[in-house]
Structure 1
Amino acid sequence: MRLGVLDIGSNTGHLLVVDAHGGAAPLPAFSYKEPLRLAEHLDDAGAVSQTGIDALTAFTAQALVVAEDKGCEDMLGFATSAVRDAVNSEAVLDHVHERTGVRIEVLSGEDEARLTFLAVRRWFGWSAGRLAVFDIGGGSLEIAGGKDEAPDVAWSLPLGAARLARQFFGGARPDDEAIRQLRKEIRAEIARDAGNLLRAGSPDRAAATSKTFRSLARICGAAPSGDGPLVPRSLPLQQLREWIPKLIAIPPDELADLPGVSPSRTHQIVPGALVAEACMDIFDLTELEICPWALREGVILERLDQISVLG
């Protein structure tokens, strides 16, 4: 069957059209996305602004047209931390539903981590053994670990790259004190619940998903996306540590010249790099393998599993 998966993230709205069948890997057929930057459209009270609501509504309406044009039988819509954490999230999604007819579900942080873990497990398979998964989004960091398809532990932290850039840098170039404070907060947040994952011992395999991790891996020498998803990619801790001072020193308008960095995300590279470094350091990992499957694939796979059971 052909499915449309509407992913409303903190940075981007993304419709992925896939041909999906039980027992087969979801095959991407078409992609449509727009930079919504909802994490940056939150006002001082924590509500999505009217500008953000209008952008989300317009994108959803267009995504529905695209999904219908591409022959989708169904569309699965979900939103992550920017909408989840907004004080007016229910009103925002009701507005979108009234204007477009599309009902978008808000995923909890735990569900986001769980579904991402499912996708990574299916990608690497049972040979991965006990698996640890990290995902840096625009609004949150998800961590999960376990030896089965459902993780033993899964949780979410308010350490998304866009969120941190807004909170600590405010659009300005970070100074040494801002970097120190950011680094301190990141590590305290991650370390607070690190025992959830560490109690079971070191993972046999540690993987990372998301645009932030892919960009950092590319900066550190990983193969470009054009080489295809089957090429192994990783983010080594030592190389990341060597790059962080350089990333801080590079003027923001020049960061987009680096491989794998899009102009709309240059302000998120330094916070994302500090979160990635902290994850590897605190969990004693020398590198993270980059997995091309993430939350969207997890949503698709769970839906196919449900259809299979019902069938």
Structure 2
Amino acid sequence: MRLGVIDVGSNAAQLLVVDARPGSAPLASYAFKRPTVLGTEIGRDGTMSTEGVRRVVRATTAVVARARSLDVAELYVFATSAVRDAANRDVIVRAVETATGLRPQFLSGEDEARLTYHAAHRWYGWSAGRLLLLDIGGGSMEIVLGRDAEPELAMSLPLGAGRMTRRFLTEDPPTERQLRKLTRHVREGLREAVERLRWEGAFDRAIATSKTFKQLARLAGAPPQSAGPFAKRALGVADLDHWLPELAAMTTAQRAALRGVSPARAGQVVAGAVVARTTMTALGVSTVDICPWALREGIMLHQLQTALSPTDPMALRTVRPMADGETWQRT
């Protein structure tokens, strides 16, 4: 069965295709993306600009067309916080539905956290023990703790790299004052999460997902994406201590020339590094292992589980495949 997941985010609309079989790993057989680059298209009131809506529609249309050309049997389309939290999200959804015939679904921040944890837990296996998962997206950051298939604690905080860049790092390069204000804000935003995690107890392994962590690890010398998903990748606080001052002193154009930093993400990598370092320090994490699986793989795994055990209460109920001629609705 060929499954496809489309993730419409603040930087790109991305298609992941898996030729899935019961018991098999959801390793991608095909991946495709088109940029959205919404960082400057979201106003202070949370409204996405007309140009931003056009970018979302163009990118989503392109990846949906590619999915159809690949004969994807079941396609799941969802939008993360950049669209989900937009003040005019109904306008965006209608525009995408008109252009593609598909109505994107929204996962709550907690849903995203749970699904990302599900993928990471499957990647590392039971022997990894209790996992602490960090994921920095464009609009939100997810923190998850768990040992079993379902996490014990899943939190989503409005501390995404894009959101923090728009709010605090308004100059290019950012000023020292802006960086200090951002760091204080992240510490304050983490306070409740830190207290809850202290109460929950220790973890055995800290892991991170998301493009933010991957590009920071690449800067620190981790193998490139071409090395494949099984290459060992990690990121330490010491790496961030080294790179953060250098990144903050560069312009966006200069950062875009660095290894592993795409032009679409060069503007928010400084905020991502601040959020990563502040979070790791607050939680007592010196190093995180970079997990190649994340939200899209988590959705794939849940959909396979649903197909095999449709009455399983753990089955994902927030997205489902679209039948011929049907528009997407939340179930």
Normalising by structure 2, what TM-score?
0.90
Deviates more, 1:199-208 or 1:41-50: 41-50
Q: Once the two structures are aligned, what percentage of the paired residues are identical?
A: 44
Q: 2:81 matched to which residue of 1?
A: 81
* 1:114 maps onto 2:135 in alignment: no
Matches of 2:32 and 2:225 in 1, distance apart?
17
Partners of 2:131 and 2:237 in 1: CA distance: 18
1:171 positional shift:
4.7
Task: Give the equivalent residue in structure 2 for 1:95.
Answer: 95
1:289 shift after superposition? 0.4
2:54 alignment partner in structure 1 = 54
What's 1:28 paired with?
28
Normalized per residue, the structure richer in helix is 1
In 1, the alpha carbon distance for the partners of 2:224 and 2:105 equals 33
- Cα RMSD (Å): 1.5
**Paired amino acid for 1:106:** F
Structure 2 residues without counterparts, runs of 5 or longer = 312-331
Identify the range of structure 1 (176-185 vs 56-65) with the bigger mean alpha-carbon deviation.
Answer: 56-65
Matches within 5 A, 1:190-269: 190-269=190-269
- 1:147 Cα deviation after fit: 1.1
Deviation of 1:88 after TM superposition, in Å, equals: 1.9
CA contact (8 A) 1:133 1:208 kept: yes
Matching residue's letter, 1:60: T
Equivalent residue number for residue 182 of structure 1: 182
Contact 1:40 1:162 in 2 (8 A): no
Q: List aligned pairs for 1:39-50, cutoff 5 A.
A: 39-50=39-50
1:80-124 Cα distance to aligned partner (Å, 9 max, x none) = 111111122233213321332112101100001110000100000
- Kindly provide the amino acid, as one letter, of the partner of residue 3 in structure 2: L
Runs (4 or more) in structure 1 with deviation over 4 Å come to none
| Structure 1 SS opposite 2:149 | coil
3-state SS of the aligned residue for 2:29?
A: strand
Give secondary structure in 2 for the equivalent of 1:98: helix
Residues 151-183 of structure 1 show CA distances to partners (whole Å, capped at 9, x for unaligned) of: 111111111111111111225211111111011
Decide whether the 8 Å contact of 2:236 with 2:288 is kept in 1: yes
Structure 1 stretches lacking a partner, 5+ long = none
The answer for the alignment partner of 2:3 in structure 1 is: 3
Residues 39 and 139 in structure 1, CA contact (< 8 A), matched pair in contact too: no
| One-letter identity of the residue aligned with 1:205 | R
Q: Which amino acid aligns with 1:33?
A: K
**Cα 1:18–1:171 shift into 2, 3 Å:** farther
In 2 relative to 1, CA 198–125 (structure 1 residues): closer, same or farther, beyond 3 Å? same
- 1:7 is paired with a residue whose SS is strand
For 2:95, give the aligned amino acid: H
Distance 1:245 1:64 in 2: 40
Q: Which residue of 1 aligns with 2:327?
A: none
